[in-house]
Protein backbone atom coordinates (compact mmCIF):
# COMPACT_ATOMS: atom_id res chain seq x y z
CA UNK A 1 0.00 0.00 0.00
CA UNK A 2 1.67 3.18 -1.12
CA UNK A 3 -0.22 6.19 0.21
CA UNK A 4 2.30 9.00 0.24
CA UNK A 5 2.87 11.42 -2.58
CA UNK A 6 6.55 12.29 -2.23
CA UNK A 7 8.87 11.16 -4.97
CA UNK A 8 11.76 10.08 -2.77
CA UNK A 9 10.36 6.75 -1.50
CA UNK A 10 11.70 3.50 -2.92
CA UNK A 11 9.18 0.77 -3.66
CA UNK A 12 9.78 -2.67 -2.17
CA UNK A 13 8.27 -6.11 -2.73
CA UNK A 14 6.41 -6.95 0.44
CA UNK A 15 5.16 -10.10 2.11
CA UNK A 16 2.13 -9.04 4.15
CA UNK A 17 2.63 -12.01 6.47
CA UNK A 18 6.36 -12.01 7.29
CA UNK A 19 8.33 -14.72 5.45
CA UNK A 20 10.16 -15.97 8.54
CA UNK A 21 6.95 -16.60 10.50
CA UNK A 22 4.62 -17.76 7.72
CA UNK A 23 6.78 -19.93 5.39
CA UNK A 24 3.83 -21.77 3.75
CA UNK A 25 2.53 -18.44 2.37
CA UNK A 26 5.78 -17.01 0.96
CA UNK A 27 4.71 -17.46 -2.68
CA UNK A 28 0.95 -16.99 -2.28
CA UNK A 29 -0.17 -14.11 -4.49
CA UNK A 30 -2.56 -12.80 -1.82
CA UNK A 31 0.43 -12.44 0.55
CA UNK A 32 2.48 -10.34 -1.89
CA UNK A 33 2.22 -6.63 -2.52
CA UNK A 34 4.32 -3.52 -2.95
CA UNK A 35 5.26 -1.09 -0.23
CA UNK A 36 7.68 1.71 0.36
CA UNK A 37 10.96 0.74 2.06
CA UNK A 38 10.02 2.88 5.08
CA UNK A 39 6.82 0.97 5.81
CA UNK A 40 8.13 -2.48 4.92
CA UNK A 41 11.72 -2.49 6.18
CA UNK A 42 11.66 0.10 8.96
CA UNK A 43 8.19 -0.21 10.47
CA UNK A 44 6.58 -3.58 9.67
CA UNK A 45 9.71 -5.72 9.38
CA UNK A 46 8.90 -9.15 10.87
CA UNK A 47 6.07 -7.87 13.08
CA UNK A 48 2.70 -9.57 12.84
CA UNK A 49 0.72 -7.91 15.64
CA UNK A 50 -1.79 -6.88 12.97
CA UNK A 51 -2.93 -10.51 12.52
CA UNK A 52 -6.01 -11.28 14.63
CA UNK A 53 -5.76 -15.12 14.66
CA UNK A 54 -2.27 -16.56 14.07
CA UNK A 55 -3.22 -20.22 14.50
CA UNK A 56 -2.51 -22.82 11.81
CA UNK A 57 -6.23 -22.98 10.98
CA UNK A 58 -6.70 -19.21 10.78
CA UNK A 59 -8.43 -17.72 7.74
CA UNK A 60 -5.38 -15.90 6.32
CA UNK A 61 -7.24 -15.11 3.09
CA UNK A 62 -9.97 -13.23 4.97
CA UNK A 63 -9.83 -9.46 5.44
CA UNK A 64 -11.38 -9.87 8.89
CA UNK A 65 -8.22 -11.59 10.14
CA UNK A 66 -6.19 -8.41 9.72
CA UNK A 67 -6.20 -5.26 11.84
CA UNK A 68 -4.39 -3.36 9.07
CA UNK A 69 -5.83 -2.58 5.69
CA UNK A 70 -4.77 -5.67 3.69
CA UNK A 71 -3.53 -4.54 0.25
CA UNK A 72 -5.21 -7.46 -1.54
CA UNK A 73 -8.44 -7.88 0.45
CA UNK A 74 -9.36 -4.27 1.32
CA UNK A 75 -9.82 -1.03 -0.58
CA UNK A 76 -7.68 1.45 1.33
CA UNK A 77 -9.85 4.34 0.11
CA UNK A 78 -12.69 3.00 2.29
CA UNK A 79 -10.54 3.57 5.39
CA UNK A 80 -8.08 6.38 4.62
CA UNK A 81 -8.10 9.53 2.54
CA UNK A 82 -5.03 11.04 0.94
CA UNK A 83 -4.84 14.62 -0.25
CA UNK A 84 -1.81 15.72 -2.22
CA UNK A 85 -1.04 19.27 -3.27
CA UNK A 86 1.86 20.01 -5.55
CA UNK A 87 3.37 23.37 -6.42
CA UNK A 88 6.21 22.94 -8.87
CA UNK A 89 8.55 20.41 -7.23
CA UNK A 90 7.12 20.77 -3.73
CA UNK A 91 4.58 18.12 -2.71
CA UNK A 92 2.48 18.13 0.46
CA UNK A 93 0.52 15.03 1.38
CA UNK A 94 -2.05 14.64 4.14
CA UNK A 95 -3.47 11.27 5.15
CA UNK A 96 -6.53 10.98 7.42
CA UNK A 97 -8.74 8.18 8.75
CA UNK A 98 -12.20 8.09 7.17
CA UNK A 99 -15.39 7.67 9.22
CA UNK A 100 -13.48 6.56 12.31
CA UNK A 101 -12.54 3.32 10.52
CA UNK A 102 -10.98 0.81 12.93
CA UNK A 103 -8.73 -0.64 10.22
CA UNK A 104 -7.89 2.86 9.04
CA UNK A 105 -6.88 3.96 12.56
CA UNK A 106 -4.80 0.81 13.17
CA UNK A 107 -3.02 1.20 9.80
CA UNK A 108 -2.50 4.95 10.37
CA UNK A 109 -0.90 4.27 13.77
CA UNK A 110 1.00 1.08 12.84
CA UNK A 111 2.70 2.72 9.84
CA UNK A 112 3.03 6.13 11.54
CA UNK A 113 1.29 7.87 8.65
CA UNK A 114 1.08 11.12 10.63
CA UNK A 115 4.87 11.32 10.21
CA UNK A 116 4.49 11.24 6.41
CA UNK A 117 2.16 14.22 6.56
CA UNK A 118 4.44 16.14 8.88
CA UNK A 119 7.55 15.27 6.88
CA UNK A 120 5.96 16.36 3.60
CA UNK A 121 4.96 19.72 5.12
CA UNK A 122 8.46 20.14 6.62
CA UNK A 123 10.05 19.47 3.23
CA UNK A 124 7.92 22.08 1.50
CA UNK A 125 8.88 24.66 4.12
CA UNK A 126 12.55 23.62 4.12
CA UNK A 127 13.58 21.10 1.44
CA UNK A 128 16.90 20.43 3.20
CA UNK A 129 14.96 18.56 5.90
CA UNK A 130 14.33 15.50 3.74
CA UNK A 131 15.35 13.07 6.48
CA UNK A 132 15.84 13.07 10.23
CA UNK A 133 19.58 12.70 9.62
CA UNK A 134 19.68 16.38 8.66
CA UNK A 135 17.88 17.62 11.78
CA UNK A 136 19.56 19.16 14.80
CA UNK A 137 19.13 17.56 18.23
CA UNK A 138 16.67 20.32 19.19
CA UNK A 139 14.61 19.76 16.02
CA UNK A 140 14.50 16.03 16.69
CA UNK A 141 13.31 16.69 20.26
CA UNK A 142 10.63 19.09 18.96
CA UNK A 143 9.50 16.48 16.42
CA UNK A 144 9.28 13.82 19.13
CA UNK A 145 7.24 16.14 21.38
CA UNK A 146 4.87 16.82 18.47
CA UNK A 147 4.50 13.09 17.81
CA UNK A 148 3.90 12.34 21.50
CA UNK A 149 1.11 14.91 21.64
CA UNK A 150 -0.50 13.71 18.40
CA UNK A 151 0.53 16.67 16.27
Give the pLDDT confidence of 12-24 residue by residue, as tens digits: 789 999 999 999 9
pTM: 0.73
Domain spans, the chain: 11-148
Q: What angle do CA 145, 4, 103 make, to 5 degrees?
A: 75
116 confidence band (pLDDT: 50, 70, 90): confident
Report the b/e string of 38-76 with b at 16+ CB within 10 A: bbbeebbeeeeebbeeeeeeeebeeeebbbbbbbeebeb
Share of the chain above pLDDT 90, in %: 52
Amino acid sequence: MSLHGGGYFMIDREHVLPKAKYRPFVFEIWNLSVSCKRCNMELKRERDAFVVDKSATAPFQDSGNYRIIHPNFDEWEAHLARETIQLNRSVMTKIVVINDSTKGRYTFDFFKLQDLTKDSFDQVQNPSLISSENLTEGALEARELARASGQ
